Amino acid sequence: MNAESPKISPARPVIRQLDEGAINRIAAGEVVERPASAVKELVENALDAGARRITVDYADGGKTLIRVTDDGCGMTAADLPLALARHATSKIDGSDLLNIRSFGFRGEALPSLGAVGRLAITSRAEGEEAATITVDGGRMGAVRPAALSRGTVVELRDLFYATPARLKFLRSDRAEAQAVAEVIRRLAMAEPFVGFRLNDVSEGGEGRVIFRADAGTGDLFDALHGRLAGVLGADFAENALRLDVERDGLRLTGYAALPTYSRGSSVAQYLFVNGRPVQDRMLYGALRAAYADVLSRDRHPAAALFLTCEPELVDVNVHPAKSEVRFRDPALARGLIVSGLRHALAGAGHRASTTVGAATFEALRPEGAAPVAPVPGAPLPPRIYQMDRPAPGALRSAMAWQSPAPGFAEAPSARVEPVVTGDEHRPLGAARAQVHETYIIAQTETGIVIVDQHAAHERLVYETLKRQMAEHGIAAQALLIPEIVELSASDAARLLDMAQDLRRLGLAVEPFGQGAIAVRETPAILGQPDVQRLVRDIVDELADQGDSRGTQARIDAVLSRMSCHGSIRAGRQMRAEEMNALLREMEATPHSGQCNHGRPTWVELRLTDIERLFGRS
């Protein structure tokens, strides 16, 4: 290598002290990444000042103007120059960096913003005269009298004009405006008793209201529920479960949505620690783990979770933007989230999200076209067959449905049950028909319920397997003749590595030559499963899980696959007592509102909605 390194100079480098302006511009690069970062710092200052109403105005995505107005305690004329000095703050005294009870504490935001933009602060403290001060690219002006009734107004213009290179890295006005709005939404969730207003004043005047949230009333949960309804939507609030659990000085509150109200990405996950919005991988992983048993890997839960504890138990001074935290006992925080969420989800029982029924109604809604006459040659509507009324006392366990129902010469696509009163008052009603040998139609007091028989029974079998596993292990049945399954060498090795765990699940396997295994026992609850298919499904699940998840997670995944083989198949005709037994079992079983992959097992159509479909309302 003949080329000289640009870092090596023949002259000895000189160590020099940077001037205050350079120091502030460097600090601004850590604290203020984009307009949304400036908004976050200014709004957090307003919250620390005890504001109850905060208004944020921005222009051009925050690049040319950010103005934050609050009704907090304000500052005196003597406070203003000190507020613009580096590492000057009223929030801590510096003696204990672990006892932090405010959003800010470093004293870097205001001087950093003044170093890279044109900053003006106007403030008035109670009993004092209003005053204003300006900072232009790090050059501070004099304090002057001003007119203001109360609180503080911070106006930042031409962000990064003093560092033009930073402007090139900003995104479009639209993208920056969306980031600003997201910051306000997160802070609004963190402070439900504070009113927020966000305006786009790019075209002058009072501008366009982008977001508004009035201050909440009532207790904390009432205010939070109302705030989440306004920020995340009424659907989230209606389908969210309330959380309030505490363990060893750590408290978890908030709301988490039902599994059937899942999202295609993690955009609806909000985490707060002592009221501070955070982006913490450990906490997000705990949220994901809590839903692992009720959601497929391509779906994401929606939740707003609030962890509170004494400040000494968490360090918020690990990131310049204070977006990450470090717990003294991270396992405690993770365990509280996982156990708290799982307990809440189990308590939801058979409940499914209301959006499922709404989506069903939208799918059935006519599109405005008038009814048309039948087209010659078109398929006829399904025939309906009347069944014989079952004998009294013919109910059987939902877990014992294996044999087909007799008495049919052909397989109709719909069958009607005789009216039997008594169960309509139950949550899932009384079975009235089976459609396409796949869906159960039940009548409730307020409408009808449609149940996917295979998905519902799969969940019931899965919960039964988990319960047996936790109590005394899963009962096994020996095969008269062992089943030999040919696999690849790697698949056989993967299966045999878990042989002991599989035996606890009722599946006994042992090696049988190169790449083959012998199955000697299967779980009794599965009846007479297709052993070849069962084993191959388990192998696929183990390969999909890999080594990234723990043993218990892999066991749960195997149980989920097993439950599919022990459940009622689509196309299986069911008698009235079987269908009603399935409904009653669903009502008594946790998580029965969704299948093992998070899809709904039943939907409800209220009578009022059905009447609207036919124009009777």
Where are the chain's structural domains? 20-213, 220-347, 385-617
Which tokens go with 156?
A: 């930042």
Reported CATH class of domain 385-617: alpha beta
Q: How far apart are CA 562 and CA 7, in angstroms?
A: 63
Q: What are the C-alpha distances in Å from 393 to residues 434, 457, 478?
A: 21, 22, 32
CB 117 within 8 A of CB 157: yes
Q: Work out the angle at residue 279's Cα, subtended by the Cα atoms of residues 276 and 285, and round it to the nearest 5 degrees.
A: 120
**Helix intervals (H) in 296-426:** 330-347, 354-364
pLDDT tens digit sequence for 398-420: 334 433 444 433 445 666 655 55
How confident is the prediction for the chain on average, in pLDDT? 83
Q: How far apart are CA 239 and CA 227, in angstroms?
A: 15
pLDDT tens digit sequence for 214-235: 999 889 999 999 999 999 999 9
Sign of CA dihedral 372, 373, 377, 380: positive
Q: What is the mean pLDDT of residues 127-140?
A: 93
pLDDT value at residue 617: 63
By percentage, how much of the chain surpasses pLDDT 90?
A: 46
Q: For 20-213, which CATH superfamily applies? A: Histidine kinase-like ATPase, C-terminal domain (3.30.565.10)
Name the least confident of 335-344, 376-385, 527-536. Answer: 376-385
Is it the case that residue 388 has pLDDT exceeding 50?
no
Is it the case that residue 79 has pLDDT exceeding 80?
yes
SS3 of residue 448 by DSSP: strand
Q: How far apart are CA 346 and CA 467, in angstroms?
A: 13
Select the CATH number that applies to the domain covering 220-347 from these four: 3.30.230.10, 1.20.1340.10, 3.50.50.60, 3.40.1190.20.
3.30.230.10
385-617 matches 220-347 in CATH topology: no
Q: How far apart are CA 561 and CA 458, in angstroms?
A: 9
Name the least confident of 50-59, 88-97, 572-581. Answer: 88-97
CA atoms within 13 A on the CB side of 484: 6
pLDDT band at 158 (very low <50, low <70, confident <90, very high): very high
Please tell me the pTM assigned to this model.
0.75
SS3 of residue 479 by DSSP: strand
Q: Are strands 53-59 and 476-486 parallel, antiparallel or unpaired?
A: unpaired
Q: What are the C-alpha distances in Å from 323 to residues 40, 95, 336, 458?
A: 11, 23, 21, 41
pLDDT value at residue 137: 85
CB 166 within 8 A of CB 31: no
CB 80 within 8 A of CB 121: yes
Is it the case that residue 397 has pLDDT exceeding 80?
no
Q: What is the mean pLDDT of residues 50-73?
A: 96
pLDDT value at residue 73: 93
Name the least confident of 357-361, 423-427, 551-555. Answer: 357-361
Residue matched to tokens 């218990």:
552
pLDDT band at 373 (very low <50, low <70, confident <90, very high): very low
Q: How far apart are CA 246 and CA 152, in angstroms?
A: 37
